[in-house]
Structure 1
Amino acid sequence: MFNLPTVLVWTVGVLIVVHVIRALLPYQSDVEVLMTFGFVPARYTGAAEFLPGGIAACFWTPLTYALLHADWLHLGVNVLWMLSFGSAVARRFGTSRFLLLLLVTIAAGALAQFLAMPGNETLVIGASAGVSGITAAAARFAFAPGGPLAGGGTHPNAYLVPDPGLRASLLNPYSAFFILMWFGINLLFGVGGQMLPGVGGAIAWQAHIGGFLAGLLLFPLFDPVGHEARS
């Protein structure tokens, strides 16, 4: 916790600052912020002109929705999950690649939510899609022999183990179990989220899956470890 990558500290710091600022806003102003910067699938099927931000918001909301959270519990879960798995990815990728992957997976989550519910007017907020993408990226190397979750510990070389490839990752019993558990938990929230204690609203599980798949499949495009080491 006291030796986190700088990019991770700043990312979490931004999320917390945004939430604190919103907590200080009057209710109506906060609603305006949510509707202007939150992701609404229906904005792309004719509702844009009736929503704050208009058509222009179509360009920024697929990213800015990740800055907003429903409450402190929602923010806390995302922050803890990001700290748990984002640290390994940030150490491997460095600042620029980490942020780029985060943005891509956030956008992928918004796209998945739109494809699943194109005309839906439900507001989607939270960094969960990006956190899911970072988690998937960690699964590509963290469980490989010598990786940070497979005996490598916190040794610097543990974060630079070669990516064994998607097929090998899926065949690795540890990473496969992790991935299956992740999908199982998200499907549980998607099917029965309203009945789970402490869950006050619908869970955008489609966005979670979109972000996760993007992180899992696009990992090689961002991975700075050389192709020769992976062959």
Structure 2
Amino acid sequence: MDASPEFPRQSRVPVFNLPGVVTLSIGLLLAIQAVREFLLPDTWDISLVLDLALVPARWTLWFDPGQATEVIRAAGDSGDPSLQAAREAFARYIAGEHALQPWTLATYALLHGSWMHVIFNSVWLAAFGSPVARRCGPWRYGVLALAGTVAGGLLHVLVDPLSAGPLVGASAGISALMAAAARFVFQPPVSGYGGPPWQLPPHRPVETIPELLRNRTAVSFLAIWLVTNLLFGLISMPLVGESAAIAWDAHLGGFIVGFLLFPFLDPRETVKA
């Protein structure tokens, strides 16, 4: 009689150890950037940005057309002086367009300003989207990312309503996934767990806010994230290798929604009788 323990069957190690939905998300973002960079003519790419990017001034002018003069003035007063004429011309186009385009609250996340931008976001998506997707499954992962994207876009419109600059990037949705992951990834190991070493420890509920405040690792992570984003907002600091400033307000909106929404989407573990 063989008394050796029955080990789980070993499968081949995957090339990319990411949940399928995260791999698909990253692949989609990279594919869109590649199509824009290598296949689309410049005029088509501009049309794509106009149709999918989030422009706060569109929302402001839809509800208050009388703000057109202020939008044009704001476009001329911000950014590089050498581009003032181009910014004012674009603001005049937005003012004459008078189109709300509500889908842009979500679709702006599909576009990025450069390869550096999309690669940077892909790394963060792999790091923080993966634990959320493994814990919650693809649909809840998608709901969190979408809710964070929309919330980030709305907060950006509220903070900078006169801006005619297009907002692009998946950072707000990734911030929501990052906040969701912070609710459980920094928990200490299960004490007294005596199961076989190859088995996963039992599912643990998300940490409440008081529990998070007692978790030094979680508090340090949240503090660093908040301070970094506030610095981006106060100093208008661009991403390394980029000329455009980071939309810190969109990050904050996504993070808040992901942090508060995750406990309602977190699946409850069923106890087998």
TM-score, with length taken from structure 2: 0.74
Q: Which structure's CA Rg is the greater one? A: 2
1:176-195 to structure 2, matched below 5 A, reads 176-194=219-237
2:47 corresponds to which residue?
32
Amino acid at match of 1:38: A
Counterparts of 1:211 and 1:156 in 2: how far apart (Å)? 34
C-alpha distance 128-26 of structure 1, shift in aligned 2 (>3 A): same
Say which of 88, 101, 116 aligns to 1:57. 101
- Verify the 8 A CA contact 1:194 1:200 in the aligned structure 2: no
Amino acid at match of 2:101: A
1:21 corresponds to which residue?
35
1:127 corresponds to which residue?
170
1:150 corresponds to which residue?
none
Aligned partner of residue 124 in structure 1, secondary structure: coil
User: Over residues 111-148 of structure 1, what are the superposed CA-to-partner deviations in whole Å (9 max), with x where a residue is unaligned?
Assistant: 1101111222111000000011100100000011238x
User: Over residues 143-180 of structure 1, what are the superposed CA-to-partner deviations in whole Å (9 max), with x where a residue is unaligned?
Assistant: 11238xxxxxxx87469321121221133111010001
2:258 corresponds to which residue?
215
Say which of 35, 44, 56 aligns to 2:59. 44
Counterparts of 1:160 and 1:208 in 2: how far apart (Å)? 29
1:203 corresponds to which residue?
246
Aligned partner of residue 39 in structure 1, secondary structure: coil
- Verify the 8 A CA contact 2:54 2:167 in the aligned structure 1: yes
1:152 corresponds to which residue?
none
Say which of 5, 9, 12 aligns to 2:26. 12
Counterparts of 2:239 and 2:184 in 1: how far apart (Å)? 32
Aligned partner of residue 164 in structure 1, secondary structure: coil
Amino acid at match of 1:82: L
Say which of 8, 17, 21 aligns to 1:3. 17
Counterparts of 2:34 and 2:202 in 1: how far apart (Å)? 33
Counterparts of 1:96 and 1:124 in 2: how far apart (Å)? 26
How many residue pairs get aligned? The number is 220
Which segment drifts farther, 20-29 or 44-53? 44-53
Counterparts of 1:214 and 1:124 in 2: how far apart (Å)? 19
Aligned partner of residue 47 in structure 2, secondary structure: helix
Larger helix percent: 1
Counterparts of 1:116 and 1:156 in 2: how far apart (Å)? 48
- Verify the 8 A CA contact 1:142 1:159 in the aligned structure 2: no
Structure 2: runs of 5+ lacking an equivalent: 1-14, 66-92, 191-197
Q: What is the CA-CA distance between 1:225 and the residue it aligns to?
A: 2.8
Counterparts of 1:213 and 1:156 in 2: how far apart (Å)? 34
Q: Aligned Cα RMSD in Å?
A: 2.5
Q: What is the CA-CA distance between 1:54 and the residue it aligns to?
A: 6.2
2:128 pairs with 1:67: no
Amino acid at match of 2:18: L
Aligned partner of residue 81 in structure 1, secondary structure: helix
User: Over residues 73-92 of structure 1, what are the superposed CA-to-partner deviations in whole Å (9 max), with x where a residue is unaligned?
Assistant: 00011000010111111000
1:65-144 to structure 2, matched below 5 A, reads 65-144=108-187
- Verify the 8 A CA contact 2:145 2:174 in the aligned structure 1: yes
Percent identity (aligned): 40
- Verify the 8 A CA contact 2:239 2:245 in the aligned structure 1: no
C-alpha distance 101-196 of structure 1, shift in aligned 2 (>3 A): closer
Q: What is the CA-CA distance between 1:218 and the residue it aligns to?
A: 1.2
Q: What is the CA-CA distance between 1:27 and the residue it aligns to?
A: 1.4
Q: What is the CA-CA distance between 1:183 and the residue it aligns to?
A: 1.0
Structure 1: runs of 5+ lacking an equivalent: 148-154
